[in-house]
Structures are given as C-alpha cells and as structure tokens.
Structure 1
Amino acid sequence: MSPPKNVTAINPHAKRVVDFRELIGSVWRNKQLIWQMTKREVVGRYKGSVMGLAWSFFNPVVMLVVYTYVFSEIFKSRWAGAGAEDSKTQFAVILFVGMIVQGLFAEVFNKSPGLIVSNVNYVKKVVFPLEVLPVIIMGAALFHGLVSFVVLLVAFFIFNGFVHWTAIFMPVVILPLIILILGFSWFLASLGVFARDIGQFTVIVTTILTFLSPVFYPVSAVPEAFRPFMMATPLTFIIEQSREVLIWGHLPDWKGLVLYMLVATFFAWAGFAWFQKTRKGFADVL
C-alpha cells in the first residue's frame, strides 16, 4: 500500500497506550479509515479480473456444489444425528458451515504475520494507526464470510424449503471468535516483524486446527477421552454453535458464549497490549 500524501512524519519510538479503552477508542476514532481501507482490500483482491467482485459469490457456490456432489454421490456420507432422508444433501451444508468458520479464522490468521512487513511506509514515514491493520483484514474476511453465509442459507432453503429462525443468532455466535482472532492477529503482526518465518508456522497451525476441529466430522465421532482437547481448540465451540443455530434450529449455548467471550476479550487485550508495547521496535528492524 502506498502512503497518503501530505502527511506528517512521526516518531516510531513513541510510547503507546495499552489499556482496553485505547483498543476500543482507536477502532472508533479510525472507523472511517477502516471502512475505506476494508473496501479497498476487498476490491483489490479481484482487481483486473473480468468478473470482479462476482468471484466472491461464485467461489462459495462452486465449493458448495462440489461438496454436495462428492459427499452425497461419491462418498455417500452421513452425519451422525441427521435423519437418513436428509443427510444425503445435508452433509454438504453441515460441512460448509465448518468451512465458513474455518475460512474466516485461517484468512486473518495467515495474513497477520506479514501485515507490518508489507506496509513499511506506514511504520516510518506517515501518521498511521498501525493497530487498525488487523481490523482491516478482519473486515475483508468478514465480507467474504458473509457472502458464503448467504450462499449457505440459500442452499439450505433449496434443500429443505425453509430456514430456521435461529439463524438470526449467527452474528452473536461468531462475535467472540472475531474478537479472539483480532487478539491473535495483533500478536502475530508484531511477531512477524521480528521473526519472518512465523508466516510458515501459521499455515501449519491452521492446517492442524482444520483437522482437529469438527469441520469434516461431528464431535460425537471423537473418542470421549480426546473430546476435552478438541473442545480446547478455538474453532470447535464456534463451529458447533453455528451448526446449532443454522442447521438444527436450536438456541445457542448462552453460558458457553459468555465464557468464550470473556476469554476472547482477554486475548484481544493481551494481543493489542503486546502490539503496542513492541511497535516502537518495528522501525529498527524494518
């Protein structure tokens, strides 16, 4: 990204505030900047392509069609707990829920280590709130997740003839994960400046989490002795709750969401504090 014109140079070693109020305040003060740069991030992904933003809709449609064909016609897959009559096509929809949540996590998690390294001018030459960069990539990831979510609801309606009213709770279910991912993103964005190979590590982590989380199988398929370890992963609870409100039509686990939110908020503040404490060293390394 090229820096804006007519900006004032800053002292990259200046001390930064790390309390939770500053986290919220920075996002609020820079909401217009975040909005504009998020739009640029989304549009820039498809710049030069013939279909443009239409790809954001076309991609999840193709993937859902592939899942439906492969798992219903080739693998003859069934999902534990689903009715025999429904499970032939429902398996693909259930699987797609997990892929949406995993995709949101993976996109931000894998991009975070290179955020500062790829925006050196923002560190040394311009007045720019570096702490909003993770929020910007999160906004772009949420846009693509929202498109996939719409595709999912349309497919569910086509397969079943209705959509559960509990789908309105999906934003509440996904919010704690968003906050948790932002905490990881601030931490990784800072760490990526000092350890450039951290990006390779995050790809490995997201791959492992994909198979340790119930993306392709239900939690009930895991031996009871290993379930506590599985539930400790950041994706498992959110994927399960997403399926509860979208697929099964159940209310979310409010107590579990509150607990997850508390943990996520702590990690968000810790990641933000780490970022603010270490950012004064960015200019020396870059």
Structure 2
Amino acid sequence: MTITLKNNFKTTQRYFSFQRYYELLSVLVERNLKGRYRGSFLGIYWSMLNPLIMTGIYTSIFGTVFAKYYNHSTLNYVLAAFTGLVVINFFSAATNQALPSVVSNGGLLNKLKLPMSVFPVSLVMANLFQFLFGAFPILAVVTLFNSKNLWNVLALGFPIVALILVSAGIGFLVSTLYVFFRDLPYFYEIVCFVLWMTSPIFYPAEIVPPSVKPFISLNPLLPIIESIRQISLSGALPDFHLIGQAFLSGIIFVALGWSVFRWSQPLFMDLL
C-alpha cells in the first residue's frame, strides 16, 4: 500500500512538473514571437524573405549550370535550393538564438527556480512555429504536386522532426558553452558558415569529389536536406534509408547536447 501511494505521488509530481514546464514554454515562445514581430506588417512571413531572395540569386548564377542534375529543369533547381535554404536558415536561427538564452536569463534564474532547459528549447520552438506557418505550407504543396500522394506530405514530418532534434541538441550544447566561454558567438559564426558551405544547398551533392565526401558526410544537416528533397521533389515514395540517417543524426546530437547541458547545469549559477 505504501509503495503504491509513493508511486502515485511520483506520477502526480511528474505530471505537474510537465504541466509547469509546458506552460512556461508556451509563455516564452509567445513572448519571443511577440517581441520579434511587434509592429511588423508581415509578421512571421518576414522569415521567408531571406530564402526567397537567396534562391533567386543562386538560380540566376547557378541555375543553368546545375539544372542538368535536376532532370534538366531550372524549376527543380529552384525548389532544391529553396529546400536547402529553409533547412539551414531554421538551424542557424534556432541555434544562434539559443546560444545566449541561458546567460541572458541569468537574472531571472537567480530570482526564481526555473528549469534552465526551457530557455534554449523555447527558441527552437519559436522558430518551429515560424517554420510551420511560413515554409512548410510551400513544401507541402510542392510535395503534393510532385508525388500526388498525401503520404509523402505526411512523411515530411520525419526529417523535420530530425531537424528539430539536431537544432535542439546544438542549442543545448552552445547555450552551455556560452556560460563558460563568452567569445563563443564569434567562433560559432565560423561553424555555421562551414555547415552552410558543406551542405548541398546551391550545388548538387553529386558534384562533391569522392575525396571530400567523407568530410561532408559529417554534416548533421546533410541527410535532413537530402531526405526532404527526396520526399518533396522526386515524386517517388519516401526513402526510409535517408529518413533513418536523418533521425540517427538527430538522436545523436540531441543526446550529446542534452548530456553536456545536464552535466554542466549545477555549475551555471556561479557564472550567471
């Protein structure tokens, strides 16, 4: 009887902890989005401006040359470049915003006992909300048009979840490191640039030399971009091998980031 009561108490405690975390996360996401777009005419749709402009620039420079890798279709190149840009922009925005999230809320953490992980997670979720109402509808329409299959539209969720996991994992990692190393933003700019250049965004993966491919394959965004492109542009059924690679990448990075964050958390308060 005593053991049953203890188990029920623990279950109730976990439920209220989860509910509190969810409510706090909702407040932080709403605050972030309202602060970001207060007084803005287009709101979250401003996030579409960068990938659209960059797609136009890449197409005007490389479209004719690389169209042959996309069934000799400039339109397919446009869609492929847009897909890559959407992924890299989401990752860059989410992780760069998550980087200072713990430090910038240090004053609040010194006054209230709050779960520290909610701050980087809230930034990733805010960017996810932006993505779902901005880029995702375009990807869904393109996928439905190319595949004529609703399952392909639903399958887009798998690499997108993998993208969220990778972004959250890196968000945990960089927000932890920033507590200890305040020069990190300058270094992380270089990391994001390297990830940008090693992701097949404006160029097809087929042109990468065999000697370089092992290094490119270390990029966690590569299987995610390739999986989204395969689902949305090929017209074929989803390639579960690519989806599996994307998920593996997501699980590895979220596990790594969360482990470092959890292990370092007791040291945060002395430095905030």
Partner SS for 1:196: coil
Alpha-carbon deviation of 1:219? Answer: 0.7
Is residue 198 from structure 1 mapped to residue 181 from structure 2 by the alignment? Answer: no
Q: What residue number does 1:272 align with?
A: 258
Distance 1:180 1:62, change over 3 A: closer
Please identify, of 217-226 and 70-79, the stretch whose mean Cα deviation from structure 2 is larger. Answer: 70-79
Q: What residue number does 2:43 align with?
A: 55
Please identify, of 115-124 and 91-100, the stretch whose mean Cα deviation from structure 2 is larger. Answer: 115-124
Alpha-carbon deviation of 1:279? Answer: 1.9
Distance 2:16 2:264 in 1: 19
Alpha-carbon deviation of 1:214? Answer: 0.3
Q: What residue number does 1:230 align with?
A: 216
Identity among equivalent positions (%) equals: 28
Task: Check whether the contact 1:153–1:163 (CA below 8 A) recurs between aligned residues.
Answer: no
Amino acid at match of 2:264: T
Partner SS for 2:67: coil
RMSD of aligned alpha carbons: 2.8
Count how many residue pairs are aligned between Structure 1 and Structure 2: 255
Partner SS for 1:78: helix
| Unaligned segments of structure 1, at least 5 residues | 1-23
Alpha-carbon deviation of 1:41? Answer: 1.1
Q: Deviations over 1:86-105 (max 9, x none)?
A: x2233222100000110111
Distance 1:181 1:26, change over 3 A: farther
Is residue 184 from structure 1 mapped to residue 170 from structure 2 by the alignment? Answer: yes
Distance 2:91 2:188 in 1: 11
| Unaligned segments of structure 2, at least 5 residues | 1-14
Task: Check whether the contact 2:63–2:78 (CA below 8 A) recurs between aligned residues.
Answer: no
Is residue 217 from structure 1 mapped to residue 203 from structure 2 by the alignment? Answer: yes
Distance 1:174 1:130 in 2: 25
Is residue 123 from structure 1 mapped to residue 114 from structure 2 by the alignment? Answer: no
Q: What residue number does 2:81 align with?
A: 95
Distance 2:50 2:173 in 1: 34
Distance 1:273 1:25 in 2: 24
Q: Deviations over 1:171-218 (max 9, x none)?
A: 111212211221221121111011001111111111111011101111
Amino acid at match of 1:140: A
Q: What residue number does 2:137 align with?
A: 150
Task: Check whether the contact 2:171–2:257 (CA below 8 A) recurs between aligned residues.
Answer: yes
Please identify, of 261-270 and 141-150, the stretch whose mean Cα deviation from structure 2 is larger. Answer: 261-270
TM-score normalized by structure 2?
0.82
Q: Which has the higher contact order (CA 8 A, sep 6+)?
A: 1
Q: Deviations over 1:31-56 (max 9, x none)?
A: 2221232122112101133x1xx232
